[in-house]
Amino acid sequence: MQALAERTARALALAGGALLIGLGLLVCASVTGRALGHLSGAAWLPEGLAAWLGTFGQIRGDYELVEMGAAICVFAFLPFADVSGAHARVEVFTERLALRPWLERGWALVMALALTTIAWRLGVGTADKLRNGQTSFIFAIPIWWPYAACLVLACLGALISWIRLFGRAR
Amino acid sequence: MSDLALGYLSLPVLLALIFLRMPIGLAMALCGFGGLWIATGSPGIALARLKSETYSTFANYNLTVVPMFLLMGQMAALSGLSRTLFDGASAFLGHRRGGLALAAIGASAGFGAICGSSLATAATMGRIALPELRRHGYPGGLSTAALAAGGTLGILIPPSVILVIYAMLTEANVGDLFLAALVPGLIAAALYMAAARAGVKGGEGVLPRRSLAERLGALGRLWQVGLLFVLVVGGIYGGLFTPTEAAAVGAILTGLFALLGGRLTRESFAAALKETAAASAMIYLVIFGAGFYNGFLALARLPQHLAGLVGGAELAPLLVLALILALYIVLGCVMDSLSMILLTIPVFWPLLLQLDLGMDQDSLAIWFGILVLSVVEIGLITPPVGLNLFIINRLAPDVPLTATWRAMVPFLTADLVRVAILFALPVLTLFLVT
B378 in any annotated domain = yes
Q: What percentage of chain A carries pLDDT values higher than 90?
A: 61
Q: How far apart are CA B290 and CA B368, in angstroms?
A: 20
**pLDDT at residue A41 tops 80:** no
Report the pLDDT averaged over residues A1-26: 95
**Could you tell me the residue ranges of all domains in chain A?**
2-169
Report the pLDDT averaged over residues A49-56: 81
Chain A residue numbers with beta carbons less than 8 Å from the beta carbon of B244 are 27, 63, 66
pLDDT given at position B393? 84
Residue A75 CB partners (closer than 8 Å, separation 6+): A16, A149, A150, A153, A154, A157, B58
* Residues 67 through 96 of chain A touching chain B, CB cutoff 8 Å: 67-68, 70-71, 73-78, 80-81, 84, 86-94
- Model confidence pLDDT, tens digit, residues A93-131: 777 777 888 888 899 999 999 999 999 999 999 999 999
B157 in any annotated domain = yes
| Residue among A24, A128, A150 minimizing CB distance to B248 | A24
Whether the CB-CB separation of A26 and A62 falls below 8 Å is answered with yes
Q: Do B249 and A31 touch (CB under 8 A)?
A: yes
B1 in any annotated domain = no
| Residue among B21, B244, B273 minimizing CB distance to A91 | B21
Chain B residue numbers with beta carbons less than 8 Å from the beta carbon of A16 are 277
The residue among A45 and B237 whose pLDDT is bigger is B237
Chain A residue numbers with beta carbons less than 8 Å from the beta carbon of B30 are 110, 114
Q: What percentage of chain A carries pLDDT values higher than 70?
A: 99
B385 in any annotated domain = yes
Nearest Cα neighbor of B78 from B130, B129, B132, B120 is B120
User: Which residue stretches of chain B have pLDDT < 50?
Assistant: none
| Residue among B24, B244, B273 minimizing CB distance to A27 | B244
Helix axes B317-332, B361-378, angle to 10 degrees: 30
In order of A74, B43, B148, B358, B434, the CA distances from B82 in angstroms are 29, 51, 15, 42, 33
Q: How far is B26 from chain A, CA to nearest CA, in Å?
A: 7
Q: Do A70 and B63 touch (CB under 8 A)?
A: yes
pLDDT given at position B204? 77
**pTM score, whole prediction:** 0.92
B386 in any annotated domain = yes
pLDDT given at position B323? 92
Whether the CB-CB separation of B262 and A3 falls below 8 Å is answered with no
Confidence at A35, pLDDT banded by 50, 70, 90: confident
B293 in any annotated domain = no
Q: How far is B135 from chain A, CA to nearest CA, in Å?
A: 33
| Residue among B19, B63, B277 minimizing CB distance to A13 | B277
Chain A residue numbers with beta carbons less than 8 Å from the beta carbon of B26 are 87, 107, 110-111, 114
Q: Do A90 and B21 touch (CB under 8 A)?
A: yes
pLDDT given at position A47? 80
Structural domain containing residue B376: 61-264+301-430
Instruction: Inform me whether the C-beta atom of residue A42 falls under 8 Å from chain B C-beta atoms.
Output: no
Cα nearest neighbour of A19 on chain B: B273
Q: How many domains does chain B have?
A: 1
Instruction: Inform me whether the C-beta atom of residue A102 falls under 8 Å from chain B C-beta atoms.
Output: no
B2 in any annotated domain = no
pLDDT given at position A169? 62
Q: Do B273 and A18 touch (CB under 8 A)?
A: yes
B279 in any annotated domain = no
pLDDT given at position B420? 96
